[in-house]
Amino acid sequence: MDKAYVHGYDHRETIRLQDQASTLVELLHSDTSYPAGSRVLEAGCGVGAQTVTLAQNSPNALITSVDISEVSVREARRKVAAAGLTNVHFHQADIFNLSHGLDTFDHIFVCFVLEHLSRPLEALQTLKNHLRPGGTITVIEGDHGSAFFHPESEAAYKAIQSQVELQRQAGGNAMIGRELYPLLLGAGYTSIRASPRMVYVDSSKPELVEGFTKRTFTAMIEGVREAAISAGLVEPDVFEKGIRDLYRATESDGVFCYTFFKAIGEK
């Protein structure tokens, strides 16, 4: 699998992913559940940040969660066990080379994975082989081009763009959310339904100020500081100002917006 995870695998990133997952449960997953007995593949489970919600929403479905990183799979297994969930089985695997047979799964769930792949269309086509006829795939991705905020800040946009460029150089696409419909269409899925899921944050929503603007989005941009500056993508003083201005958007008169996209297709 050609997944180059630009954010890294350290403990800080694990915490950021957990914050993101817990903050966005209702927005992203309120309409994700699978019937009892369904065979569900979570392709690219990472550290299990989405797995817990997936398993809780569908307690009687049979979930197989895979990831290419052995470290991530261990953490995901630990997290699911700590939540007392028993309907998930984990495997270290490359989603381009799964050992599961054709037409094995009733549903496939892919969240925050395609953005890290240089061959997202091929990934969706490969996964379709493991989906039974009439089965569904659900894909969720963000889009860094959708970030906007008040007060406006050119430096903040440049800091964000440096992360977008790092991800592009690693073979990914931080703005892939807007492409979900055409990607699923190109991969041969039918009955495709795509919807934007905007996160709107102002100071009347303190849980989103902390959980999303600070600990999810801004923490992600902060996390590429050294790499972005070393690569010459942004001047150090501009990057630092950009981070300060993103935090400025969390103050009493600040606003931050970001859009995720969720799409469902059928085989």
pLDDT tens digits for range 84-96: 999 999 999 999 9
pLDDT tens digits along 134-188: 999 999 999 999 999 999 999 999 999 999 999 999 999 999 999 999 999 999 9
- The model's confidence at residue 210, banded by pLDDT at 50, 70 and 90, is very high
CA torsion through residues 227, 228, 232, 236, sign: negative
CB 100 within 8 A of CB 62: no
Instruction: Please report the pLDDT score of residue 133 as a whole number.
Output: 97
Question: Cα separation of 185 and 153, whole Å?
Answer: 36
- The model's confidence at residue 19, banded by pLDDT at 50, 70 and 90, is very low
Arithmetic mean of pLDDT, 206-234:
95
CB 124 within 8 A of CB 96: no
Cα of first residue to Cα of last residue in the chain, in angstroms, is 22
- The model's confidence at residue 8, banded by pLDDT at 50, 70 and 90, is very low
- CA distance to 8, 84, 137, 144, 174, per residue, from 261 (Å): 23, 30, 14, 11, 12
Q: Which domains does the chain have, with CATH numbers?
A: 11-266 (3.40.50.150)
pLDDT tens digits along 37-49: 999 999 999 999 8
Instruction: List Cβ neighbours of 154 (8 Å cut-off, separation of 6 or more).
Output: none
- Closest alpha carbon to 5 in 53, 72, 90: 72
At 258 the three-state DSSP class reads strand
